[in-house]
Amino acid sequence: MTESTAHKPPHRRTAPRRAKQAPRADRKLSKSQPLAAPDAPVIDPGARHAMIAKAAYYLAERRGFDPGYELDDWLAAETDMERAISAQAGAAPSLCGDY
């Protein structure tokens, strides 16, 4: 056998790539989709963050800016904002934290 007629491995064919399927409605929501009541208004994430930050600031101001309560202020402001949005939309209040 000569070099030009040496055994070459057969060419491997690859299966055609599948096109990505569009997500189905019953699959999990993506991170960018808000988790809200169907009738609740959709708020821009940046605006939502700014509203919570402003409300948390006023809560901290009311208690004299004592350190160590920043997370409590943020969570209370977030809860108040969600309740206000739910009430405005006529949706039932969230069961989280309401006992």
Which tens digit of pLDDT belongs to each residue from 3-48?
Answer: 555 666 666 666 566 656 555 554 554 555 555 555 667 889 999 9
CA distances to 48, 69, 76, 83 from 57, rounded to whole Å, are 14, 11, 11, 18
Q: Which H or E run includes 49?
A: helix 45-62
Model confidence pLDDT, tens digit, residues 53-82: 999 999 999 999 999 999 999 999 999 999
